[in-house]
Structure 1
Amino acid sequence: MKRGLMAAIGIAALMASVAACGSGGEGTSGADGYKGQTLTLWVMDGSTPKQWEKDVRAAFEKETGAKLKLEAQQWNGIQQKITTALSESDPPDVIEVGNTQTPAYAKTGGLADLSDLKKGLGADWTPSINKSAVYDGKQYAAPWFAVNRTVIYNKKVWADAGLKGTPNTRVGFFEALETIERKTDAEPLYLPGQNWYFFDGLLIGKGADLVKKEGGKWVSNLDDPKVGEAMKIYEKYASYSTAPKDKDEATPQQAEVFAKGKTGAFIGLGWEAATAVEANPEIKKDIGYFTIPGERAGQPEGVFLGGSNLAVAAGSEKRELAKEFLKIALSDKFEGALAEESGVIPNKESLQDRLQGNPAAVAAAPAVARGGLTPLIPEWAAVENPPNPVKSYMTAVLKGKPHAAAAKSVKGELDKRLSQKQ
């Protein structure tokens, strides 16, 4: 994911007992044991704030005696680059991997088993965030951070409609949108027909599965009535929008539409508010955020949890040193610092208080416990390549095709993609 950050420093106490079983001729743990070694870390461009990076590097080098070589990577082409690197004899030691990409890398045998690290460091990792780091019952990565969508709204439009406060139920949200439609000339909600990750959140809220096993193979489960129920909710939201039914939130950029000041709200990531402000600085004073409300008060809507994990290459000769780095980077001190500096959701609920002062992150955090992901199977990667058949299903429904017929119309393509070898 494109907005990230890294965490770092702390927890030297856990480092005293691990290196005797290390690989590649490593000595005992501690500064003397790793002195002269260099750990290579791949992170995505923009994932590590400068202060965090500086502090983590200092802590790592002080505690281990080793050096840290941090190499920022570009998102374009990263999956193939990581796949190639993991197959080579001298891979980077620690790699930031997208959470939905983790199962594919784990399946190839390219990631080291970190189950021992989970026991000592991750006993209280948030289950919904940690889920993507587990494959075939083993911990193949460590959860680093997550981000999810909120409602980003225009306070002036809401005030013009006579609305006070923000809704805490889905019905209350619909009522607010109806009020905006009735009392203002603003578009109540900007929601294009293919905002697929918002739809995935609705699926998660309904407990709907997009795939199922048949004859030992993964196939489409899009015709499940629960998927249809989630799509009906999406249709209701879309009824308050004049956005294109066959486009996603990037075509045009929904934040730039919102920036014009004639939209009551949109569903987006916190950083999209900055995009709106860049397009129209005057909009800044009118921007507010609230958690996407669910069916009942106190129960937020399901959300898709984007984010990143930190993994250790199975082919690294510095696997024990890599684990020492993870203990520092994922310590409460540096997870908290990461959350505070960048507004991402930390990997423990107990650290969410570090988000105070960041209204977008504060609005996002309550939904994390009910969050989820796309199907955590290696075969899913091919599904989201353009044109995403799930998006095609969404457009078909919004243009009047019944749920079952729309699901049937894309089943062949979805099954074909699920059968592709990764």
Structure 2
Amino acid sequence: MLTRTSPRLYARSAASARRALAFAMAAVLLVGGCGALSDSGGDGTTTVDVWLMKGSLTDEFTKDFVNDYESRNPGVEASVTVHEWPGINKKVHKALRSGDGPDVIEVGNTQVAEYVEAGGVRNFTTEVVDLGGDDWIDGLAASGQVDGYQFGVPFYAANRVVIYRKDLFRQAGIESPPRTREQWLSATELLDGPPGQQGIYLPGQNWYVLAGFIWDEGGDLAVERSGRWAGEVDSPEALRGMDFYSRLQSYGEARPDADEADPDELQVFAKGEIAQLIAVPGSAKLITDTNPELAGKLGFFPVPGKKAGTPGAVFTGGSVLIMPEKSDAQEEGYEFIKQLASDDWQQRMARTMSFVPNKSTLTGALESEPGAAAMAKAAENGRATPASPHWGDLEARNPLKEYQTAVLRGADARKAARTASEKITRLLSGGP
């Protein structure tokens, strides 16, 4: 194994080193040919084709950004197409293969490894400093990495926080949100005491929340050894994370086989006397739309960590920006990404969309919004899912959910964890 040359960039194996050499040679060829590869129209303009995803940016924000980008890059036009998330994988794979696709693509932060394995994704490793990457939030940077190389540039993030009923906390005599996991357990037990009231609504199969507790204990969902991924939920650390999940989940009435969508946890929270829910801050608006009587009664705090002052680990969802190696506007597409990832536009996006920007130094833009501010604080300890190209297969068949339900129904945790780890290993190896 090679020694690290920076906190984020390292090679994991000799195979990775050989791949890095190939990338470096490709980069030289691309730089040398940028002028010849530009997609210039008859009037001398170059068009940068960009795919963004529905819900990421407002139309007005996109228009303002494109106008600014074009004013800074004379002779270049940006054409933005907004896509729906369902079915986008096939479109991206086709674009990377054919070379007839866009020059910049927004992708989900759990999809990067899948596209890199398929081939055709530009490597930004040598340009991380130029892109401001030294200050990227660790969890966001990691979501764009494969084998330590940076293929995706962090665009934005969103993560879960605790949404709580301020009125129920006051009635229980809890004057401020808990700051440690043990304080959280004690407060939740107290909130679960009044008849007809639940301390928390935590679906049995919320594996995103479980992942955070496992990471807090020093464990992981899966690890890569010598180029092969293996399930790791049967480690002592991961078992401690599941134990904490079980204790917290017991202070509510969510079914062991329920997930966030079935039944809809926001509807359940809105209609019941429930003190807490773990969800993205934007869920609060949907809750009060369902039950207007809760308007002004909801507060937010980061998922507590094991020590006061350190938020608990959370799964960081969101998007990254990639470029196809076959893009015919390499220089112009790179400038588009660089500008969208810049401090100015990241701050504007944070204020407009209430997303977490790509740098912790920029989260002050969210201070006026309590939910977004709590989310930004939590993002400081954000984590990405294992960077396996088969992670999508695992999520689709998800043995983690089966494992959670089994434990919450009384199964032996160690045996259930071993079974889950074996299934995870098989799925991440491309098996059935």
Tell me the TM-score normalised to structure 2 length.
Answer: 0.88
The one of 88, 92, 102 equivalent to 1:92 is 102
Give aligned-pair identity as a percent: 35
Post-superposition offset of 1:421: 7.3
| Alpha-carbon distance between aligned partners in 2 of 1:132 and 1:268, rounded to the nearest angstrom | 20
TM-score, length-normalised on structure 1? 0.90
Residue 273 of structure 1: how far off its partner (Å): 1.1
Identify the residue that residue 425 of structure 2 maps to in structure 1: 415
Report the CA distance between 1:380 and its aligned residue.
2.1
Q: 1:304-350: CA deviations, max 9, x gaps?
A: 11111011111111111101111211111100000111111111111
SS of 2:314's partner is: coil
Task: State the Cα distance separating 1:373 from its structure 2 match.
Answer: 1.5
Indicate if the aligned counterparts of 2:211 and 2:221 stay in contact, CA closer than 8 A: no
8 Å CA contact 1:154, 1:264 repeated in 2: yes
Corresponding residue for residue 101 of structure 1: 111
CA shift in 2, pair 1:213/1:96, >3 Å? closer
Q: What corresponds to 1:197 in structure 2?
A: 208
Sort the Cα spacing of 1:169 and 1:412 in 2 relative to 1 into closer, same or farther, 3 A.
closer
- What does the per-residue CA deviation read over 1:193-234, in whole Å, with 9 as the maximum and x for residues that have no partner? 001101111112112122245675322222111110000010
Q: CA deviation at 1:283?
A: 1.4
Residue 373 in structure 1 maps to residue 384 in structure 2: yes
8 A contact 2:192–2:252 mirrored in 1: no
Answer whether contact 1:19 1:26 (CA < 8 A) is retained.
no
Contact 1:61 1:67 survives alignment (8 Å): yes
Q: How has the CA–CA distance of structure 1 residues 28 and 293 changed in structure 2, closer, same or farther, with 3 Å as cutoff?
A: same
Q: For 1:127-276, what aligned pairs fall within 5 Å after superposition? A: 127-183=138-194, 185-213=196-224, 217-276=228-287
- 1:62 paired residue among 56, 65, 71: 71
1:365 is matched by which residue type in structure 2? A
Contact 1:160 1:184 in 2 (8 A): no
Q: What's the counterpart of residue 47 of structure 2?
A: 38
Q: Aligned partners of 1:81 and 1:88: how far apart in 2?
A: 11
Return closer, same or farther for 1:92/1:319 CA change in 2, 3 Å cut-off.
same
Contact preservation (8 Å) 1:115, 1:140: yes
**Which position in structure 2 is the counterpart of 1:394?**
404
> Partner amino acid for 1:57?
V
Give the CA deviation at 1:261: 4.3
- Residue 14 of structure 2 is matched in structure 1 by none
Q: How does 1:290-309 map to 2 (within 5 A)?
A: 290-309=301-320
Call closer, same or farther: CA 1:96–1:214 in 2, change over 3 Å.
Answer: closer
Distance 1:54 1:232 in 2: 49
- CA distance 1:411–1:135, change in 2 (3 Å): closer
Instruction: Pick from 314, 317, 330 the counterpart of residue 341 of structure 2.
Output: 330
Determine if the alignment matches structure 1 residue 384 to structure 2 residue 421: no
Deviation at 1:185, TM superposition (A): 3.2
- Local SS of the residue matching 1:165: coil
The one-letter amino acid of 1:203's match is: I
- The SS at the match of 1:396 is helix
CA distance in 2, matches of 1:46, 1:56: 16
- Distance across 1 between alignment mates of 2:237 and 2:137: 26
Deviations 1:113-171 (A, max 9, x none): 12243121223222221112122232212111111110001112222222212111111
Name the structure 2 match of 1:9. none
Query: How far off is 1:400 after superposition?
Result: 0.8
Deviation, structure 1 residue 87: 0.8
Per-residue CA distance 1:59-106 (angstroms, 9 max, x = gap): 111111211111111111111221121111211110001111111112
| RMSD, aligned α-carbons | 2.4
